[in-house]
Amino acid sequence: MADTAAALSHVCVHFPGKALGPIDLAVAAGEIVTLVGASGAGKSTTLRLLAGLERPSQGTLTRAAGPGRTGFVFQSPTLMPWADAAANVALPLELSGLARDAARQRAVQALADVGLGDRSDARPNQLSGGMAMRVSLARALVTAPDLLLLDEPFAALDSVTRRRLIEDIHRLWAARAAPPAIVFVTHDVEEAVYLAHRVVVLSSASGRVTADLPCPGLLPRPDGWRTEADYRAAVEAVAGALEAAMGEAR
């Protein structure tokens, strides 16, 4: 088995009136995994655990990524409204101690990598929703993370923009000599299958893993792959597993 980027072993998290787990999930270095489940199933909590932002009430968290080696893209772009795109992207580099000019230079390149090479001076209110999310993605990637976590980043975008951003993720992932491990939360079953090596389904009742399903084919996806029979079969398998997981809450 490939080296592990992050893993949760028998992890439980206790909240007032609710507990999630036990959660067992391992993500290999360079692997892309999608998490699906109903609202409240613990998808965002699982990401926060993998990021080290949430501490388990019990169980073990293992992370290979050192300080500054994890990128996180939230549901909204969370950009500083007073700063231009390059300054927003440069922020994690400056916080790590890199000089401002050098950080901005790397930020401008990261923006070019996500198709915004001509928007480095734009403020967030001058960007479309898709552009703002690209800035957020560039900010997460500018440190060349070993682990990239994305929490439903495309939920508010139209389907065409979503597809383009997924292709961008695949392209940028494949361009790295050592691709990062990626964990991506989504409610969209077709998106989940298209994006990942495997789809993990979380129980609505407990947040535990109820299904771990491989996705066929190679990444990045070839043109027209969404019409392939293997893709459609995988989508139906994940949809069935998700329906069963949601039924646990009834």
pTM of the model: 0.94
Cis geometry, peptide bond prior to residue 179 (ω within 30 degrees of 0):
no
Q: What is the mean pLDDT of the chain?
A: 93
pLDDT tens per residue across span 138-169? 999 999 999 999 999 988 888 998 999 999 99
Q: Which range (81-90, 125-134, 150-159) has the least confidence?
A: 150-159
| pLDDT score of 33 more than 80 | yes
| Unique residue bearing structure tokens 């998490």 | 35
| pLDDT score of 250 more than 90 | no
Q: Looking at the structure, tell me whether residues 41 and 99 fall in a common domain.
A: no
Q: Looking at the structure, tell me whether residues 133 and 160 fall in a common domain.
A: no
Q: How far apart (Å, rounded) are the C-alpha atoms in residues 100 and 27?
A: 34
Residue 1: its pLDDT value, please?
41
Last residue of a domain, one of 145, 175, 200: 145
Angle 129-141/85-95 helices, nearest 10 degrees? 20
| pLDDT score of 2 more than 80 | no
Residue 235 in tokens: 């989508």
Q: What CATH code is carried by the domain that includes residue 25?
A: 3.40.50.300
Q: Looking at the structure, tell me whether residues 164 and 50 fall in a common domain.
A: yes
Determine how many CB atoms are found less than 10 A away from the CB of residue 140: 22
pLDDT tens per residue across span 39-64? 888 999 999 999 999 999 999 999 98
Q: Which helix (H) or strand (E) holds 199?
A: strand 198-202
Range of the structural domain that residue 196 is part of: 1-65+149-250
Q: How far apart (Å, rounded) are the C-alpha atoms in residues 23 and 25?
A: 6
Last residue of a domain, one of 145, 176, 195: 145
Cis geometry, peptide bond prior to residue 220 (ω within 30 degrees of 0):
yes
Length of the chain: 250
Residue 72: its pLDDT value, please?
94
Is residue 77 within 8 Å of residue 136, measured between CB atoms? yes
Closest CA to 8 of 21, 25, 28: 25
Is residue 167 within 8 Å of residue 194, measured between CB atoms? no
Domains identified in the chain, total number? 2
Q: How far apart (Å, rounded) are the C-alpha atoms in residues 120 and 223?
A: 30
Q: Looking at the structure, tell me whether residues 155 and 138 fall in a common domain.
A: no
| pLDDT score of 248 more than 70 | no
pLDDT tens per residue across span 173-206? 999 999 999 999 999 999 999 999 999 999 988 8
Q: Looking at the structure, tell me whether residues 129 and 13 fall in a common domain.
A: no
Last residue of a domain, one of 145, 172, 197: 145
Q: How far apart (Å, rounded) are the C-alpha atoms in residues 195 and 88?
A: 26
